[in-house]
Amino acid sequence: MTVPTVKLNSGHEIPQLGFGVFLVPADEAEKAVSEALEVGYRHIDTAAIYRNEEGVGAAIAKSGIARDELFITTKLWNDRQAGEEPHDAIRESLDKLGLDRVDLYLTHWPTPEKDTYSNAWQKLIEIRDQGLATSIGVSNHLPEHLDRIVQDTGVVPAVDQIELHPAYQQAEVSAWGEKHGMKIESWGPLGQGKYPLFENPAVAAAAEAHAKSPAQVVLRWHLQRGVIVFPKSVRKERMAENLDVFDFELTADEMQGITAIDPGDGSGRVGSHPLEFN
């Protein structure tokens, strides 16, 4: 089974469905990533703050999979954004991952009170130009943050990785990306289990109609919207289930029904707010 790819504004392709290791303990990361690679994932998303880059790297090394068949993302944590710190941070991440470059390097949060996100973005451009990251992007940036970094540097991020699920769709960020050629990645694509998404009538009906699980239906909703998504699971059977979403297609009515879950007032957010997380 081949996962479709999305072309980034850097000219490089990214698998649209990947494997996330947020909250995977360091001592479980190698096993989880090894199993994900066995199941068929080739896109792995980690971060310095997850403290499991070594485990990810060990799984990559043992997999025997050619480097150019893998797409590896990691992220710059908030306390490394100032001065030249991003240069030190990427080299530390590469050492832990056992790689000479990542395919995508992201700033993790804008942390507006620190006012270091524009400097961080400028340093990521330098990191890309040095060949340590093939593509660069951001996470959790709102249009106001995106406008500023593009104004300061002239470089549009390849992606913005944001909280995005049926109850919280961030239409303004998505519209910014559409206008400027930036792709959207979803973290928490299933709402992190923090609300009864799978019991929603639109999700449940689509799952029954296609003989798929509610989780598969929601992942399919993301994919048909062009979003890059990476669900997280440490159970091998669930990893396989999450990957088995390319043999069916939601109808326009089913898509609309799931899209209508968002109340439109921001109340569906389950994670931190980018203006408040510093």
Judge residue 112's burial from the number of C-beta atoms within 10 Å of its C-beta, 0-12 exposed, 13-18 middle, 19 or more buried.
middle
For the record, the structure tokens of 130 come out as 């040095």
Which residues are CB-neighbours of 2 under 8 A, at least 6 positions away?
A: none
Annotation says 168 is catalytic:
no
Cβ atoms of 60 and 34 closer than 8 Å: no
How many other CB atoms are found less than 10 A from the CB of residue 95?
12
Strand 13-15 with 5-7, pairing? antiparallel
Residue among 50, 105, 117, 168 flagged as catalytic = 50
Closest CA to 239 of 18, 29, 51, 63: 18
3-state secondary structure of 222: helix
Residues 6+ apart with CB under 8 A from 15: 3, 4, 5, 42, 43, 71
Where are any strands of DSSP class E within the chain? 5-7, 13-15, 19-20, 43-45, 71-76, 102-107, 133-139, 159-163, 183-187, 228-229
* Residue 114 to residue 78: CA distance in whole angstroms: 9
What sign has the CA pseudo-torsion 118, 121, 127, 131?
negative
**Listing from the earlier edge strand, what are the strands of the sheet with 71-76?**
19-20, 43-45, 71-76, 102-107, 133-139, 159-163, 183-187, 228-229
Residues designated catalytic: 50
